[in-house]
A and B are shown apart, each in its own frame.
Chain A
Amino acid sequence: MNFSIMFDKDKCRGCTNCMKRCPTQAIRLIEGKAFINTAKCIHCGECIKICPYNAYSPESIEWYNQMHDTPKKFKIAIPTTSLYGQFPRGTDICKVQNAILKLGFDFVYDASWAADLVAKAIKLKIDKEKTMRPYISTYCPAAVRLIKYRYPSLMDNLILIREPMEIAGILARERVRKKFGLKDEDIKVFYISPCPAKLLAVTNPIGDYKPSVDWVIPLNKIYGDLYREVIREDNITCSYPSLLGMKWAVAGGQSEHAELNNYIAVHGMENIIEILEEIENGKLSDIDFVEASACVNGCVGGTFNVVNPFIASSSINYISNSLPDECLNPDIDRFDEMYKTGFFNYKLKEEEKFDKLNLKEAVERNEKIREILDKLPGLDCGSCGAPTCLAHAEDVYNNESEFYDCVVLRAKK
């Protein structure tokens, strides 16, 4: 697996902040240093945001090599919608796409154009299929993975409509194949990403499809060069993103674009956990659609952005509301034909579906964990290296740690 959260052991002081914050309890302290269980990590970036010693950093290590060591490949860039919120007011954003070409790409396909199509597909699915409520958006890869690990019974609620990055990748490849007579293997697709979770979506997708995007480039790594190109005076080629599609970067943007009126747009890890709990309790079945983004304010809050999420939201809303809509979406006329062929839909892999449980095993497992837990002090101090006493009891049950790693019990012994 390609991992995009780097960890500097020397900076880590074993303070337990990240361990307690991690929404999937993927972090343990081993010999006083944090350790991420990569199988449980959903790349939400909470550890990066909370670490007081900057021991974590987001990184897509291979992006530079992927981009520069493949001169023979035809390179397509898909800029994320949040990119348009990163520039100062008054920047002529229609020049962004041309500036991306100047960085060494051969073709640009805007994620917001794909969002135009995806929004329509979401609207149609919600209007047509009324038995499942609420549908949950599959846009935020960290939220989808949180559901998979922590709320598996909600996997059935996922709307399973491919997100704009995927659709953009497929349509851009198709265009380039036709226009330049290229084969699929001669093309490499890069997504300019606001967050590390998108890398996970590309390398380890949830769903039965083969990702159309090959690699993810952190937005902040190319921002400086990009901005210089955007404001160059000889950059005169203009191409607009979709003004509504762009709003996908901001919480609520998906629902607004899909013209829904009965939806919840929730963002920030603690908030989405609260809403997912509510759905699991069966309380939100009168809501059509839940847009859950792991980051504050939506994708503009991702750790690869350069501008504060509130400023970026404001910029995107400003651009979206003040510019004339001059977007010539290259594929919008083909929507009906695409929708009919099921182009937007995908399925979960068998192992990703919610299993019918073996209650007997679950009861036995719970009893054994309960027995261990009853002997622990219940302080949730984190000194054993697990975030809570319950997590320690589970680790002991799974033979992943020693019962007497508990410092309180060791002191009594």
Chain B
Amino acid sequence: MTDKFLKRYSYNITANDFMSAGKSASAIKSNLKSLGIDSNTIRKISIISYETEINIVIHSYGGKLHCDIYENKIVIISEDTGPGITDLDMAMTEGYSTATDSVRELGFGAGMGLPNIKKYSDQLEINTSSTGTTIIATIYL
């Protein structure tokens, strides 16, 4: 088994579009399912891609979600255009949220996004600045 790259699925995510939030994560899930990937792995990837997608919708000015398939791993990459995570350590704490009340009224922003992403990733890399945030979550097969 090598870590040869096989395929990238990419999706554009619009900021504040709560109607479509979650659709890219579902599309990733159905793609992985049609590839015959086992349910445990799909479950982890679904949670990670859903949470990253929602984060882009709530907190960013818009961005992209990629699902990269390698022979031995799946990598979920989210890239957004800002404004960045001010306090990354706090953001990794369960229950800590910077979401506004109006977002919380929609049922989002419980402060579980990044902690869940970390919990289900085998490897996690976060780069953030005022111009944007990149999250790279790897799940080994």
Q: How far is the CA of A279 from the CA of B40 in the complex (A)?
A: 10
Collect the chain B residues with CB atoms within 8 Å of residue A154's CB: 39
Whole-angstrom distance between the Cβ of B11 and the nearest chain A Cβ: 16
Tell me whether B7 and A153 are in contact (CB under 8 A). Answer: no
Using a CB–CB distance below 8 Å, which chain B residues touch chain A? 4, 6-7, 29, 31, 33-40, 42-43, 46, 69, 71, 141
Contacts A/B (CB < 8 Å), 7 sampled: A153-B39, A154-B39, A280-B33, A357-B35, A357-B37, A359-B6, A359-B37
Is B43 touching A281 in the complex (CB atoms < 8 A)? yes
State whether the Cβ of A343 lies closer than 8 Å to any Cβ in chain B: no
Q: State the CA gap A280–B43 with chains docked (Å).
A: 8
Q: Are B39 and A360 in contact (CB under 8 A)?
A: no
Q: Which of B7, B34, B40, B69 contacts A282 (CB 8 A)?
A: B40
Q: Which residues of A contact B39 (CB under 8 A)?
A: 153-154, 279-282
Q: Which residues of B contact A360 (CB under 8 A)?
A: 4, 6, 71
Mask: chain A, 340-378; 1 = CB below 8 Å from B; 0 = not: 000000000000001001011011001100000000000
The 8 Å CB contact of A367, one of B7, B29, B71, B141, is: B7
Contacts of B35 in A (CB 8 A): 357, 359, 362-363, 366
**Residues on the A chain within 8 Å of B40, using CB:** 282
Separation of A280 and B29 alpha carbons in the complex (Å): 11
Known: A359-B69, A359-B141, A367-B7. A153 touches B43 (CB 8 A): no
Contact indicator per residue, chain A 266-282, by CB within 8 Å of chain B (1) or not (0):
00000000000001111
A280–B42 CB distance below 8 A: yes
Q: Tell me the minimal C-beta distance from A276 to chain B in angstroms.
A: 10
CB distance from B68 to the nearest CB of A (A): 11
Among residues 256 to 306 in chain A, which have CB atoms less than 8 Å away from a CB atom of chain B?
279-282
Given A281-B43, A281-B46, A282-B43 in contact, is the A363-B69 Cβ separation under 8 Å? yes
Which chain A residue has the least Cβ–Cβ distance from B47?
Answer: A282
Tell me the count of chain A residues lying within 8 A, CB to CB, of chain B.
15
Chain A min CB distance to B6 (Å): 5
The CA of A357 and the CA of B34, in the complex, are separated in Å by 12
Which one of B34, B36, B40, B141 has the highest number of Cβ atoms from chain A below 10 Å of its Cβ?
B36
In angstroms, how far is the closest chain A Cβ from the Cβ of B22? 13
Return chain A residues, CB-CB under 8 Å to B37. 357, 359
The answer to whether B7 and A363 have CB atoms under 8 Å apart is yes
| Beta-carbon nearest neighbor of A282 in chain B | B43
Inter-chain CA distance A21–B87, complex, in Å, is: 53
Q: Which chain B residue has the least Cβ–Cβ distance from A283?
A: B43
| B34/A281 in contact, CB under 8 A | no
Closest chain B residue to A154, Cβ basis: B39
Closest to B34 in A: A366
Which residues of chain A are near B33, meaning CB under 8 Å? Answer: 280
Q: Lowest 4 A-B CB distances belong to which pairs?
A: A282-B43, A362-B35, A357-B36, A280-B39
Q: How far is the CB of B75 from chain A (nearest CB, A)?
A: 13
Residues of chain B within 8 A of A354, CB atoms compared: 38
CA distance A206 to B27 in the complex (A): 33
Residues of A within 8 A of B141 (CB): 359
In the complex, chain A residues whose CB is within 8 Å of the CB of B34: 366
Contact call B71/A153, Cβ cutoff below 8 A: no
B56 CB, min distance to chain A CBs, angstroms: 22
Complex alpha-carbon distance, A281 and B38, angstroms: 10
Distance in Å from the Cβ of A104 to the closest Cβ of chain B?
A: 48
Closest Cβ neighbor of B37 among chain A residues: A357
Contact between B38 and A363 (Cβ–Cβ < 8 Å)? no
A152 to B6, CA, bound (A): 23
The chain B residue with its CB closest to the CB of A357 is B36
Q: Contact string, A361-401, partner B, CB cutoff 8 A, digits 1/0?
A: 01100110000000000000000000000000000000000
Least Cβ distance of B84 to chain A in Å?
A: 32
How far is A367 from B7 in the complex, measured between Cα atoms in Å? 9
Chain B residues closer than 8 Å to A152, beta-carbon distance? 36
Q: Give the residues in chain B near A281, CB-CB below 8 Å.
A: 29, 39, 42-43, 46
Please tell me if the beta carbons of A362 and B36 are within 8 angstroms of each other in the complex.
Answer: yes
What is the distance, in angstroms, from B79's C-beta to the closest C-beta of chain A? Answer: 22
CA distance A152 to B34 in the complex (A): 12
A357 CB contacts on chain B under 8 angstroms: 35-37
- Chain A residue at minimum C-beta to C-beta distance from B35: A362
Instruction: Please give 4 more A-B residue pairs, beta carbons under 8 A apart, in addition to A282-B40, A359-B69, A367-B7.
Output: A153-B36, A154-B39, A357-B36, A362-B35
Question: Shortest distance in angstroms between B23's beta carbon and chain A's nearest beta carbon?
Answer: 16
How far apart sit A279 and B141, CA to CA, in the bound complex (Å)? 19
Closest to A280 in B: B39
Q: Tell me the complex Cα distance, A281–B46, Å.
A: 9
Q: List residues of A (304-363) whose CB comes within 8 Å of B's CBs.
A: 354, 357, 359-360, 362-363
Kindly state the separation between the CA atoms of A354 and B4 in the bound complex, as whole angstroms.
Answer: 23
Residues of B within 8 A of A280 (CB): 33, 39, 42
CB closest residue in chain B, given A365: B35
Q: Which residues of A contact B29 (CB under 8 A)?
A: 281
The chain B residue with its CB closest to the CB of A281 is: B43
| Chain B residue at smallest Cβ distance from A367 | B7
- A154, B38: Cα distance in complex, Å: 9
